[in-house]
A and B are shown apart, each in its own frame.
Chain A
Amino acid sequence: MATSSVSKGCFVFKPTSKKRKTLSAEDYFTDGSENPENSRLRFQLFQSQWQDMKEEVQMVHDDLNKKILDSLLEFIGKSVASFQSRAVGWESRMRASEIPTAALVLGVNVPDHDVTFQSLSDLLRESVSPFVASVQAKECGALQHLMKKVMQQLMGGGVALDEDDAEEQSGYQISDLPRKGFNCSLGILCDWYQNLNKKSCIKSPGKKRSSSGSDFPKKPPLVVIFKDLEAFCPQVLQDFIVICSQYIQQLPLVFVFGIATSPSTIQRMLPHSVSSLLCIELFQSLSCTQHLATVIDKLALFEHFFGQPLSVLCCEEEEALAQVRQFSHEDVEKILQLPSIMRYVEKQEPQEQVKLLTSDDHVKVVTQNLLKDLCSYHRNFYPILRCLHLLTSSLPKFPLGKQIRELHVLCLENNVWESEEYESAMQLLRMLAKDELVAALQKCVEVLQPGMTKKLKEVVHQLKDIIAKLKMLDQLSDETISCEGEQESSSGKSLQKTDLFHLQKTLMEMRETRRNKAKTPYEVLRNHTVDYLDSLVKMHLLPPESQPLYEVFYYSSSATVRRHLNATPRTSIQTALSHPHYYLQSEALKSEGGTISKAAPDICIIYKLHLECGRLINLYDWLQAYFTVTAADGQDPDSAEGHVDEMKHARFIRAVSELEFLGFIKSTKQKTDHVARLTWGGCQT
C-alpha cells in the first residue's frame, strides 16, 4: 500500500488515459513463460476489479461534488428570486443593489477544478439558466478581452437555447454578436437581454412577472464564473465589477468566484469600494483526501496484477479455492517460493516440512486453508481497526492520527502495539471518564454489528457485557461516594491544628495513601476494558506481512508506484545524456569511468564535455574538445583539418543548439563567444 507516503504531496490528475492503456495491456500480461490461460484469467480479474474501483471512485467523487453544487444552485436560485421581487416594497428600494456572488473555495488542487466547473455549468444550464459564461484568467488579460469572452458566451448560449427562435432572431443576433471587438459593452448585452425577454413575453400571454410554463424562471440570471480568481489582474476584475454593478438593475447577474487558496483573497484583491458592490456568500468544498487515496490504490492494483503471477488468487474466496485445486506443478513451486510461505514452512515440524516440499497436493490443501485464514483475518482486521480508530480519534493530541488512514498505515507496516504512540493512546484511554468510555464502546459495537464473523460476535458480546457493567456502576456509585465522603471528613479532621511541618508530612502521607488506595470499581473495570481492547488489537491487528500468503493480496513495492506517479523529466534527460546505452540499448556505448565514448551521439559527447566547465563555457574550447573526442582513435586531429572540419563543425553546432533547446545552456550577453550553463553551473566550480 503506497497510500500514505505518496499522498503527502502530489496532485491528483484523474487517470483518464489509463483505461485505454489497460485494453492494450492484455499483451503485456501474456508475455513471459507462464501459462497463457492463467495470465488471461489474471487480466480479466484485473479488469473487473478495475471497473469496480472506478465506479467506486466515481461515486465518491460525485458525492463530494453533489453537496456543494446543490448548495450553489440553491444560492443562485435564491438570488434569482430576489431579483424578481425587486422594486417591490420599501426595503428593496432602499437597499444598495449588490451583485450576488458565490465564493467557491475548491482547494489548491488546481487541475481538479475544471471537472467541477464543467459539471457546475452543465447543471446550471440544465436547471437554472441557459446563460452561463465561465472565464479563465489567462484569456482575460485586459478588460476588453474579459468583456468579449463573457458576452460571447452569454449571447452565444442564448442562440443555442431556443433553436426554433434562432431563425427569426438570427438577423438581430448575429449582427450583434461582438465579433468586431470594440463594440463590446454591457449596454449591448442589456438591450439583447431585454429584447429576449420581450420576445418570450409576447409568446406567453400574461403579465410580465407571472411565470410562464417554460423550464426556466421568467428572467433567467446571467451567471459569470471566474474559474481562477487568484490569477486575475485585480484592476481588470475591479473595473468589470464596477461596470456590472451599474447594470445590475436591468441585468440579473450572478458571479461565481473559484478560489483555490482562501476567501481572504477576495479582500486582498478588491478594495472596499468594490467589494461593497458584491453580496458574497462562501461555499467550501470538502477535502478530497479520501478520493486521493482511492485513486492511488487503483494504480497499485495495476502494478500488482502486472508483476505478481500468483495474483490469480486475488478474488473472491470461493473462486480462489477453486483455483488452487487446479494449480499445476509450476504454480505450486511459485507458491513455495513466496517469502511468507518459506517462513511458514520453516516454522513447521520437520515431517510436515518434508511433506510440504514433496507433495503438490498437500501444498494445495495447505494453501486453501491459508487462504481461508487470510480471508477471515481480513474480515476481523477492518472492523477492529475502525474500533481502534473510534476510540483513539477523540483522544487529546491524536496519538494515533486524526484520520483512519494514518492508523491504517501504522497497522499495515508494523505491530501497532509496539509503537510509542500506541502506548500513550492506551494510557490516555485509561484516564477516560465513564460517559465518554461508554459512548465510545457503544459506537464500537455499532461498527462491529454488520458482517459479523464468529470471533467478532464474541467481541460484540464482550463489549456489551462491559457496557452493561459500566451502567451497573451507576447504582453502585452512590455507595462509593458516601465512602469517600467519610474518608474526606476523617482526613479533614487530622489537618486541624498542626504546624507547617506536620501539615507537609500529613499531606505526603495522604498522597501515599491515595496512590495505594484501592481503586474504585469504575477504575478496575476501566482497566479491565482497556486490557481487553489491547488484547483484541494484539490478536487482530497483526500486520499483513506476518500472514502467510499475504503476497497474494498485498502490494508493497511502493517505490515502483511512486516512480510511475512522479515523472522525473530532468533525471531522465540527464540519464539519457550521460548513459546513452540505457536508452539506445547498445553495449558499444557503455563507457567505464569518466571516459567519453566516441560512438555516442553528438549531444551526449557535448553534454559530457560541458559538465566539466564552469558557469560560462567558451565555445571554441568546447569545439576543440569535441574534435579531440571524436577523432580519438589514434588519428591525428590536425591532419585532415580541411574537409572533416566542416562536417564536424556543423554537427557540433547542431548538438549545441539541441542542448540549448533542452534548457542546459543559453547564450549570454556577457561574452559574445561564450554560452552560460543553466544547470548548477555555478555550484560545481
Chain B
Amino acid sequence: MPAELRQQGYSEAQLRLVSEKVPCREAQAAALLALFGEPDHYSFPSIFIYGHRAMGKSHVTLTLLRELQMPHVVVSCVECVSPGLLFEQVLGSLFDSSAVTLSRSPSLSDFVRLYRQLCAEDSAKHTRYIVLDRAEVLRDMSANLLPGFLRLQELVEDNVTVILLSEIVWDKFRPSTGCFEPLQLHFPDYSKAELQQILAQDSHPSYSAELYTFYINILLGVFYSVCKDLRELRHLAALNFPKFCEPLEKGEAEESDTHKLWRNIEPHLKKAMQTVYLREVSSFQWEEQLKQDGETQSLRGLSAYAHVELPYYSKFLLIAAYLASYNPARTDRRFFVKHHGKIRKTTFLKKHEKTSNHLLGPKPFPLDRLLAIFYSVVDSRVAPTASIFSQISSLVTLQLLTQVGHDDQLDNPKYKCTVSLDFIRAIARTVGFDILRYLYDFL
C-alpha cells in the first residue's frame, strides 16, 4: 500500500471501505482527501484533475464524495447545451430544487446572486463540492464561465469547492486574460500490473479466481500494446470469456491445463483486436459468431462496405468535381482541349504549384468549371436537365461534395470534392474512365 487514507473527521471503517474501492489509486485518493480536509474546513477553491480516459478520475472522486457523505453535485458539461442548464443542475441538487427559479437565459452573475440568496437561507455546514465532468466543454461556453467557476468560493462567499475533471492538460484551458490557477492533480496511466490487478478483481462467480487471473494475463498479453483503456479491456474480457471457458465446459480440458486453454483462446483474441475492438463488428454479432464457432464464415466489418452505388451521371459529376478540386484551373485547357499545344510541366508551373495538390487537399471550384469538365469527360451528349443539377445537390447531401461559402444560391456557388483518391479511382473504374491520366499530380 503506497499511501493510506488518513483524515480527521472520518471514521477508520469508512476510510478503509473507500480505499478498498479504489484499487491502485490509493495515492491519488489520499492526496485528494488531504486537499479536502476535514468536513467543515474550507478547502482549496478549485481543483483540476486530469488524466486519460478510464483512469479512475471520476471513480475516485465520486467514491470519496459518496462514501464519506459530502454534499456534492456532479454535472457532465457535454450535457449542458447552455449555461442555464448547468446552473440549474448545480443549484437544483445543492439546494431545495423548488426554490430554483432562474431567468430565461441566465448569466453567471444571475447564478451567483441566486446562489448567495439560497446560501443565506441554508448555509453550508460541510464543504460543498461541485464536480464538473468533461470540463473542456466549458471553454466553448461564454468566456467568463470558467474563470467564474474557478473562484466560485470567493464569489459566493460560501464553503464550496469546484472540481474540474478533464482529459486535457491545464495549459490548454488557461484563458488569455488570466484567471485563478486551480490546484492540479494528475492521474497517471495504469501500469500493466495495475491493470491486471484491477481486471482480476471481477472474477466470474462460477470459476476460480486463479483461472480468471490467468485469462486476464492472456488478454493483456494481446491487447496491452494497443489499448490501455480499462473500460474497453473489461468489455473485451467479458465478451471473450465464454469462449475461453468452452473447453472446460465440454470437459476437454482441466483448469490446470493452461497451455491448451491458451491455444484455444489466442487466435480469437487476435481476431477480436481487428474486429470488435475497432467496432467493425458489433459485440452482439461477435458473441453470436463465437457461439456458432463458424471459422469459415467470417463477418464483414463496416469498412468492408466501402462501395457506393451511384447513378451514372453522378459518377461523372463526381469525377469532374475531383478533377476540378485537384487540378490547377490553368491546366484544364491542357487536359480537355484537343489541340492545346505542348506545355511542358516545368516551365508551365508556378512555384506553389510544384507541391502535390494531393498533399494540399481539395481546392474549391465554381459550378461552371465543374459543368465544363463534366461535359468534356462524359462520353455522350447530356442536356443540362434538372436531373443533372439535382444530382449535384444530392452529392452535396451525401457529403461527397461540400459547398464552400454560404453566399446565396443564385451567386455562382463553389464546391469542394471530399472523396479520397482510392474512392474516385473505384468510381472511375466502374465507368471505364482512366482518371490518373487526367490528374495533374500524376503526369
Query: Are A262 and B306 in contact (CB-based, < 8 A)?
Result: yes
**Does chain B have a CB within 8 A of A631?**
no
CA distance A229 to B386 in the complex (A): 25
Say yes or no for A424: interface residue by CB 8 A criterion.
no
Asked if B79 contacts A185 (CB within 8 A), the reply is: yes
Give CA–CA (A202, B81) in the complex, Å. 35
Interface residues in B369-411 (C-beta closer than 8 Å to A) = 372, 383-387, 389-391, 394, 397-400, 410-411
Given the known interface contacts A180-B104, A183-B85, A243-B76, the answer about A9 and B279 at a Cβ–Cβ threshold of 8 Å is no
- Give the chain A neighbours of B313 by CB distance below 8 A: 8-9
Which residues of chain B have C-beta atoms less than 8 A from A107's C-beta?
A: 309
A182 partner, pick from B105, B231, B241, B399, beta carbons under 8 A? B105
Out of A100, A101, A142, A263, name the residue touching B305 (CB < 8 Å): A263
Taken together as a complex, chains A and B put the C-alpha atoms of A242 and B137 apart, in Å, by 13
Interface mask (A233-257 → B, CB under 8 Å = 1, otherwise 0)? 0000001001100100000000000
Complex formed: what's the CA distance from A276 to B386 in Å? Answer: 42
Interface centre among A95, A182, A273, A571 (most CB of B within 10 A): A182
Q: CA–CA, A110 to B85, complex, Å?
A: 36
Task: Write the A243-284 contact mask toward B (1 if CB under 8 angstroms, else 0).
Answer: 100100000000000001111111100001101101111101
A279 touches B284 (CB 8 A): yes
A91 at the interface (CB under 8 A from B): yes
A10, A284, A566: the one contacting B311 at CB < 8 Å is A10
In Å, the complex CA distance between A275 and B232 comes to 12
Chain A residues within an 8 Å CB radius of B284: 78, 82, 100, 279, 281
Q: Are A185 and B85 in contact (CB under 8 A)?
A: yes
Mark out the residues of chain A between 68 and 106 whose CB falls within 8 Å of any chain B CB in the assembled complex. 78, 82, 90-91, 93-96, 98, 100-101, 103, 105
- A260→B234 CA distance, assembly (Å): 34
Query: Is A678 among interface residues, defined by CB-CB distance under 8 A?
Result: yes
Q: Which of B294-348 contact A (CB under 8 A)?
A: 302-303, 305-314
Closest chain B residue to A246, Cβ basis: B76
Chain A 109-164 residues near chain B, CB threshold 8 A: 110, 142-144, 147
Q: Contacts A230-B398, A246-B79 hold; do A267 and B303 have CB atoms under 8 A apart?
A: yes
Taking CB atoms, residues of chain B closer than 8 Å to A570 are: 384, 389
Contacts A281-B284, A282-B305 given; does A276 touch B394 at CB 8 Å:
no
Contact between A183 and B391, CB atoms less than 8 A apart: no
In angstroms, Cα B407 to Cα A678, docked, is 14
B387-A110 in contact (CB<8A): no
Q: How far is the CA of A623 from the CA of B219 in the complex (A)?
A: 82
The interface bits of chain A over 187-230 (1 if a CB of B lies within 8 angstroms of the residue's CB, else 0) are: 10000000000000000000000000000000000000000101
- Whether B84 pairs with A182 at a CB distance below 8 angstroms is yes
Q: Which residue of A lies closest to B280 (CB)?
A: A267
Q: Which of B81, B302, B383, B390 contacts A266 (CB 8 A)?
A: B302
Cβ of B210 within 8 Å of any chain A Cβ, yes or no, is no
Closest Cβ neighbor of B76 among chain A residues: A246
| Interface residues in B262-308 (C-beta closer than 8 Å to A) | 278-279, 282-285, 302-303, 305-308
Q: Is the CB of A96 within 8 A of B282?
A: no
Let me know if A90 and B204 touch, CB within 8 A: yes
Q: Is B144 an interface residue (CB 8 A)?
A: no
- Provide the main secondary structure of the chain A interface: mixed
Instruction: List chain A residues, Cβ under 8 A from B389.
Output: 570
Cross-interface CB contact of A108 among B204, B241, B310, cutoff 8 Å: B310
Whole-angstrom CA separation of A98 from B309 in the bound complex? 30
Q: Does B237 contact A (CB under 8 A)?
A: yes
User: With an 8 A cutoff between CB atoms, is B174 at the interface?
Assistant: no
CA distance A345 to B191 in the complex (A): 95
Is B235 positioned at the interface, with any CB of A under 8 Å from its CB? Answer: yes
Distance in angstroms between the alpha carbons of A243 and B78 in the assembled complex: 7
Are A11 and B302 also in contact (CB < 8 A) when A186-B79, A230-B399 are? no
A567 sits at the interface (CB 8 A): yes
A568 to B382, CA, bound (A): 11
Partner pick for B385 among A108, A265, A566, CB 8 A cutoff = A566
A147 and B81 contacting across the interface, CB-CB below 8 Å:
yes
Q: Is the CB of B302 within 8 A of A568?
A: no
Residues from 74 to 102 in B contacting A, C-beta threshold 8 Å: 76, 78-82, 84-85, 88-89
Contact yes or no, A182 B82, CB < 8 A? yes
Closest to B411 in A: A666
Indicate whether B202 reaches chain A with its CB closer than 8 angstroms: yes
Residues of A within 8 A of B432 (CB): none
Q: Which residues in chain A, 639-660, are within 8 Å of chain B measured between CB atoms?
A: 660
Contact B302 A264 (CB under 8 A): yes
Q: Are B311 and A264 in contact (CB under 8 A)?
A: no
B309 touches A108 (CB 8 A): yes
Closest to B242 in A: A91
Contacting residues of chain B (45-84) with chain A, CB-CB under 8 angstroms: 53, 76, 78-82, 84
- On whether the beta carbons of B85 and A9 are closer than 8 Å, the reply is no
CB–CB A110/B398 < 8 A: yes
Q: Are B302 and A278 in contact (CB under 8 A)?
A: no
A663 at interface, CB cutoff 8 A: yes
Write out the residue numbers on chain B whose beta carbons fall within 8 Å of the beta carbon of A266: 302
Which residues from chain B contact A90 at a C-beta distance below 8 Å?
202, 204-205, 238
A287 interface contact, C-beta 8 A: yes
Q: In the docked arrangement, what's the CA distance between A101 and B85, Å?
A: 28
Do the beta carbons of A663 and B384 come within 8 Å of each other? no
CA distance A284 to B398 in the complex (A): 17
- A398 near B: Cβ within 8 Å? no
> Judging by beta carbons under 8 Å apart, are A281 and B398 in contact?
no
Tell me, in angstroms, the Cα distance from A210 to B219 when the chains sit together.
38
Known: A95-B238, A143-B81, A571-B384. A183 touches B303 (CB 8 A): no
The one of B82, B88, B235, B303 in contact with A144, judged by C-beta atoms closer than 8 angstroms, is B82
Residues of B within 8 A of A568 (CB): 383-386
**Which one of A183, A261, A566 contacts B387 once the chains associate, using CB atoms below 8 Å?**
A566
Which of A11, A143, A281 interacts with B394 by CB under 8 Å?
Answer: A11
Question: Contacts of B84 on A, CB cut-off 8 Å?
Answer: 182-183
Q: Does B368 contact A (CB under 8 A)?
A: yes
Residues of A with C-beta under 8 A to B78:
239, 242-243
Residue A327 CB within 8 A of the other chain:
no
In the complex, which residues 489-519 of chain A have their Cβ closer than 8 Å to any Cβ of chain B?
A: none
- Within 8 Å by CB of A94, from B82, B238, B399, B400, lies B238
Q: Kindly list chain B residues whose C-beta atoms are within 8 Å of the C-beta of A276.
A: 232, 279
**B156 at the binding interface (Cβ < 8 Å):** no
A231 at the interface (CB under 8 A from B): yes
Asked whether, in the complex, the Cβ of B239 is within 8 Å of the Cβ of A95, the reply is yes
B412 lies within 8 A of chain A by Cβ: yes
Interchain CA distance A565-B232 in the complex, whole Å: 53
Partner pick for B308 among A108, A239, A273, CB 8 A cutoff: A108
Question: With A and B bound together, what is the CA distance between A348 and B197 in angstroms?
Answer: 99
Q: Cβ of B282 and Cβ of A279 under 8 Å apart?
A: yes
CA of A284 to CA of B300 in the docked complex: distance in angstroms? 12
- Tell me if A600 counts as interface (CB < 8 A to partner B): no
**A260 CB contact (under 8 Å) in B89, B397, B411:** B397
A307 within 8 A of B: no
A262 proximity list for chain B (CB < 8 A)? 305-308
Residues 453-507 of A at the B interface (beta carbon under 8 Å):
none
CB pair B82–A9 under 8 Å, yes or no, is no
Task: Give the chain A neighbours of B398 by CB distance below 8 A.
Answer: 108, 110, 230, 260-261
Decide yes or no whether A184 CB sits under 8 A from chain B.
Answer: yes
B399 contacts A11, C-beta separation under 8 Å: no
Contacts A262-B307, A666-B410, A683-B372 supplied; 5 other A-B pairs, CB < 8 Å: A94-B238, A98-B283, A260-B397, A568-B385, A570-B389
14 contacts across the A-B interface (CB closer than 8 A): A90-B205, A90-B238, A94-B202, A94-B234, A94-B238, A101-B282, A108-B398, A265-B399, A267-B279, A278-B282, A281-B284, A287-B309, A678-B412, A683-B368
Nearest 6 Cβ contacts at the A-B interface: A9-B312, A94-B238, A9-B313, A566-B385, A96-B235, A8-B312
Interface residue ranges, A against B (CB under 8 Å): 8-11, 78, 82, 90-91, 93-96, 98, 100-101, 103, 105, 107-108, 110, 142-144, 147, 180, 182-187, 228, 230-231, 239, 242-243, 246, 260-267, 272-273, 275-276, 278-282, 284, 287, 565-571, 660, 663, 666, 678, 680, 682-683
